[in-house]
């Protein structure tokens, strides 16, 4: 036996108040009516759609001001081409272009150094250990 229209209206409004982010389709399934009927009920009652949260910047995580934007600034736009790697000798963070990193990894170069001094210091220590000096 179908429910009365007033009961569907009350049940749909109660569901939306209990969970403001519930979809029209989910409410329609619960009440046993169509999605268009739930839309009309909410429109008549003045119940607005749930507000979609603004996205975050994919580079730094700051909340954006537009739904279309993916990055927050030109700095983040430039930083998407860089990757951070630790120095193999001292552990300092090195910002390296991603295309250079991919090239080095393709050549099996897994050790990255922040400057020439760390590179030579690491090689001198290895030579001492191996007894080549």
At 88-107, the pLDDT tens digits run 888 888 888 888 888 888 88
pLDDT digits (tens, 9 = 90+) for 54-63: 888 887 888 8
The model carries a pTM of 0.43
pLDDT tens digits, 65-74 = 888 888 888 7
Query: In the chain, where are the structural domains located?
Result: 5-45, 80-130
Instruction: Please choose, from the candidates 41, 42, 50, the residue with its C-alpha nearest in 3D space to the C-alpha of residue 19.
Output: 50
Report the pLDDT value the prediction gives residue 120, as an integer from 0 to 100. Answer: 81
**Positions of E strands within 31-104:** 82-86, 93-97
């Amino acid at each position: 036996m179908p429910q009365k229209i007033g009961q569907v209206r009350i049940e749909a409004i109660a569901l939306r108040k209990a969970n403001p982010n519930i979809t029209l389709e989910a409410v329609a399934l619960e009440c046993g009516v169509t999605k268009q009927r739930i839309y009309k009920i909410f429109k008549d009652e003045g119940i607005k759609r749930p507000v979609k949260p603004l996205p975050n910047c994919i580079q730094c995580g700051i909340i954006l001001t537009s739904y279309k934007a993916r990055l927050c600034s030109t700095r983040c736009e430039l930083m998407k081409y860089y990757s951070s790697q630790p120095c193999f000798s001292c552990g300092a963070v090195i910002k390296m272009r991603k295309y250079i990193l991919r090239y080095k990894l393709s050549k099996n170069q897994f050790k990255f150094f922040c400057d020439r001094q760390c590179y030579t210091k690491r090689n001198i220590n290895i030579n001492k250990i191996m007894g080549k000096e």
